[in-house]
Amino acid sequence: MQQYILRRSILNLLAIFFVVTLIFLLLRIDTDHVVTLRAAQTQTSTPEAQAAARQQIREDLGLAGSIPEQYKTYLWNLVQGDLGESFQAKEKVTNEIKDRIGPSLELGLLQITVAMLVAIPIGVISAIRQDSMVDYILRFFAIALLGIPVFVLAIFVLTSSSIYLGYVPPLTEYRDLFPFPPFSTGRGVDVSTNLQIMFMPAIVGGLGEGAIIMRFLRSQMLEVMRQDYVRTAWAKGLKERVVILRHALKNALIPVLTVVGLLLGIVLSGNVVLETIFVIPGVGLWIVNAIGESDYPIIQGVVLVVAGALVFINLLVDIIYAWLDPRIRYG
Amino acid sequence: MQTGEPQAQAGALAAPAEWVLPKRPGVAANVWKFIRRKPLGAFGLLLVILMVSMTVGPPKAVFGVPELPDSPLGFELGKPFMARFDAKDVFREGERGVSVGSIDRFLEPSTKHWFGTDRGGHDTYSVMVYAARRSLFIGLWALFFATIVGCAIGVVSAYFRGWSDTLVQRFMDSIQAFPPLILLILIISVFEPNLTIMAIALGFVGVTSVQRIVRGVVMSTREEPYVEAARVLGATDLRTMVFHIMPNIMAPVIVVFTIGLGSVILAEAALAFIVPESVPSDPSWGIMLHFTQQHLPPFPPFLPFTLLEGDPEGYHTLAAGGAIVLSVLGFNLAGDALRDVLDPRLRVG
């Protein structure tokens, strides 16, 4: 097991290295663009002064050397845990990510909670009443939810609440949920404001994710319900509730863990769409702006953090897997 | 067979009627059977057909090379038959709605403008029909790219196994570790926005999942006796892959293609919604939705059921949002049904 974890960790590092290289090269395709963007802000008259200004900007941004040189510097800084300074705000990217990961993480965790709350009962009911009317209706809704884009649903929910309930979440003033690091953005703590902003996107995003989990859980349940040990449980005369919850659901949930793990990884990158609509100062909103401004260190930093989190969450899921299901052995 | 043939001849001489094969069900009967067995799938297929028919129009310049960079299919189609007006037509009559200058903005629906007009005075319904063409073209091209590249990688990777497989798979893992939407926004913002780039970018993101599925299928297919037989007969690796493995993995590939179309259309709309300035500016459902949202002062009513209160923007949202939902739903339902028919092994739920 230890050997397995070690091998997987090394492979993960390799994957992260690929990601870092890929994003670096992708961003170096057109560096002139970013220099032009910055040069437009400075007023110069002569072409020479313009050229000098451009060169100065290049050096300031660390884009002066050849690409292999830049790459070497970048990797060297990376090994030391330095993600560089953002072009626009001139802030340490590591600090900025720390400030923004909280809201994204919170939104993501709430979304997954909503998704599980919706998916588990519906998935179970749909499976134990297979091919009944209830099953058809629930499955149709699940497929429909998969098809409805989050941004359509979000606008829909936001506006109908304002029309019918006369309620609009306080979108202008974001407040932290907790004062401690992962959840703090330095905007002051106010649990009720925070939750008022968060609950709508959590439900909207959670429903879509719930549909994915529900479909998966249903098929797992159907498979587990046909297993011998479930038949034994029935034969022993156990109550339906006990058979389904203790014997079937417990086993069906194990593979669902993989899906949840994947969703958790995606969550870290911030839900771009929901954060834009609900004005949540998370990673998603930030990186879209950063891409618009060609702020390379931010883009590289966020992609690195997200990719790293994703591959290691996958590893964690596999380890938990083996722990939950003793039949699984990694060699 | 040795005893069967003379018997058959004798039977044919004596009583030909006995040997008439049962009548094969006609096309109509097959279609009816499909509708009865898979009502949801049939509904999905209907939606897909509706969407495709929206995009059809008279050919403008067949394989006109000058248009190549901007039209992903390489040729231009004229005004779709289903559109009532050209997407660029600006209306200026001015009866109801808000007229800015002489342009009729936000007209309410009428017999002339089925969904009213948008902020630029264009006919919303026609813009929606044009946008369907863009969605479908991008979707098809992205999926062609993803499927061809994904199949090639998946088949080769699974066929040769070993360290090359490991290396390729780790590389694919790392691409999959990218947040997809962010990767897409990045790619299209690095390059000039045009439809071909968008299609390739969307396809590129899809390659990883296509190749993963293909690889899984090939892993089991390559152990089949007919593949072994081909190898024993001295077929080269390339020949084995192209003529013996590829034809036998077509079913899952077709299913992946259909379901993938739905998600690519969704991704394209999301992209246009988030960064409308970085995508090509011709009619698109995502852009339509973006401007509906952008235009609105904080949260005025604009939902379908509040339209009675006289807010024409609602029809705009309804047209674009409805079109996205129905097309994605269509491809998902059709894909699910197709999977059940073609390849039950892939069944998820």
Mean pLDDT of B181-201: 83
ipTM value: 0.78
* Cβ A211 vs Cβ B348: under 8 Å: no
Tens of pLDDT, residue by residue over B224-261, are: 899 889 989 988 989 988 898 888 888 888 888 888 89
Q: How many CB pairs under 8 A join A and B?
A: 146
Whether the pLDDT of residue B9 is over 70: the answer is no
Whether the pLDDT of residue A121 is over 60: the answer is yes
- The answer to whether the CB atoms of B325 and A215 lie below 8 A apart is no
Candidates A16, A146, A151, A268: best to mutate against B (most CBs of B within 10 A) is: A151
- The answer to whether the CB atoms of B182 and A287 lie below 8 A apart is yes
- The answer to whether the CB atoms of B325 and A149 lie below 8 A apart is yes
| pTM (2 d.p.) | 0.80
Whether the pLDDT of residue A140 is over 90: the answer is no
Residue B23 at interface with chain A, using a CB cutoff of 8 Å: no
Whether the pLDDT of residue A72 is over 80: the answer is yes
- Looking at chain A from residue 42 to 101, which residues have their Cβ under 8 Å from any Cβ of chain B? none
pLDDT at A232 (0 to 100):
92
Residue B62 at interface with chain A, using a CB cutoff of 8 Å: no
Whether the pLDDT of residue B10 is over 70: the answer is no
pLDDT at A163 (0 to 100):
67
- Looking at chain A from residue 266 to 295, which residues have their Cβ under 8 Å from any Cβ of chain B? 266, 269, 272-273, 276-277, 287-288, 291-292, 294
- The answer to whether the CB atoms of B181 and A299 lie below 8 A apart is no
First-to-last C-alpha distance (Å) of chain A = 7
Structure-token match 């044919």, residue found: B12
Q: Quick one: CA dihedral B270, B274, B276, B280, positive or negative?
A: negative
Mean pLDDT of B109-127: 77
Angle at A44 between CA A39 and CA A48, to 5 degrees: 90
pLDDT at B95 (0 to 100):
58
- The answer to whether the CB atoms of B336 and A163 lie below 8 A apart is no
Whether the pLDDT of residue B330 is over 80: the answer is yes
Mean pLDDT of A94-120: 88
Range with the poorest average pLDDT among A106-120, A290-304, B109-123:
B109-123
- The answer to whether the CB atoms of A11 and B293 lie below 8 A apart is no
Mean pLDDT of B327-340: 85
Mean pLDDT of B299-327: 62
Q: Between A86 and B49, whose confidence is greater?
A: B49
pLDDT at B297 (0 to 100):
39
pLDDT at B101 (0 to 100):
64
- The answer to whether the CB atoms of A219 and B187 lie below 8 A apart is no
| Exposed/middle/buried for residue B317 (C-beta within 10 Å: 0-12, 13-18, 19+) | buried
Q: Between B214 and B5, whose confidence is greater?
A: B214
Whole-number average pLDDT of chain B: 77
- The answer to whether the CB atoms of A306 and B333 lie below 8 A apart is no
* Cβ B288 vs Cβ B316: under 8 Å: yes
SS3 B145: helix
How close does chain B come to A310, measured CA to CA in Å? 6
Residue A247 at interface with chain B, using a CB cutoff of 8 Å: no
Residue B175 at interface with chain A, using a CB cutoff of 8 Å: yes
Whether the pLDDT of residue A117 is over 90: the answer is yes
pLDDT at B2 (0 to 100):
46
- The answer to whether the CB atoms of A219 and B328 lie below 8 A apart is no
* Strands B59-61 and B103-105, sheet pairing: unpaired
Q: Between B53 and B76, whose confidence is greater?
A: B53
pLDDT at B335 (0 to 100):
84
pLDDT at B150 (0 to 100):
93
Range with the poorest average pLDDT among A9-13, A239-243, B4-8:
B4-8
Amino acid identity of B12? A
User: In terms of C-beta distances under 8 Å and separation of at least 24 residues, what long-range contacts does B53-57 make, across chains too?
Assistant: B53/B81, B53/B82, B54/B80, B54/B82, B54/B129, B54/B132, B54/B133, B55/B80, B55/B129, B55/B132, B55/B133, B55/B136, B55/B137, B56/B80, B56/B81, B56/B82, B57/B81, B57/B83, B57/B133
Mean pLDDT of A56-63: 78
* Cβ B182 vs Cβ B190: under 8 Å: no
Whether the pLDDT of residue B86 is over 80: the answer is no
- The answer to whether the CB atoms of A155 and B348 lie below 8 A apart is no
pLDDT-based confidence at residue B348 (cuts at 50, 70, 90) = very low
Nearest to A88 by CA among A64, A57, A66: A57
Share of chain B above pLDDT 70, in %: 77
Q: Quick one: CA dihedral A170, A174, A180, A186, positive or negative?
A: negative
Whether the pLDDT of residue B305 is over 60: the answer is no
pLDDT at B16 (0 to 100):
57
Candidates A128, A133, A137, A163: best to mutate against B (most CBs of B within 10 A) is: A163
* Cβ B105 vs Cβ B75: under 8 Å: no
- The answer to whether the CB atoms of A168 and B299 lie below 8 A apart is yes
Which of the 8 DSSP states describes residue B17?
A: G
Whether the pLDDT of residue A94 is over 80: the answer is yes
Tens of pLDDT, residue by residue over A194-240, are: 888 888 899 998 988 888 888 888 888 888 888 898 999 999 999 98
pLDDT at A61 (0 to 100):
78
* Cβ B80 vs Cβ B54: under 8 Å: yes
Nearest to B113 by CA among B134, B90, B130, B131: B90
Mean pLDDT of A264-279: 76
Residue A233 at interface with chain B, using a CB cutoff of 8 Å: no
How close does chain A come to B195, measured CA to CA in Å? 19
pLDDT at B152 (0 to 100):
93
pLDDT-based confidence at residue B300 (cuts at 50, 70, 90) = very low
pLDDT at B145 (0 to 100):
93
Residue B333 at interface with chain A, using a CB cutoff of 8 Å: yes
Tens of pLDDT, residue by residue over A184-196, are: 777 777 888 888 8
Whether the pLDDT of residue A13 is over 80: the answer is yes
Mean pLDDT of B154-168: 88
CB contacts of B179 in chain A (<8 Å) are 266, 269, 303, 306
pLDDT at A114 (0 to 100):
93
Nearest to B187 by CA among B168, B206, B209: B206
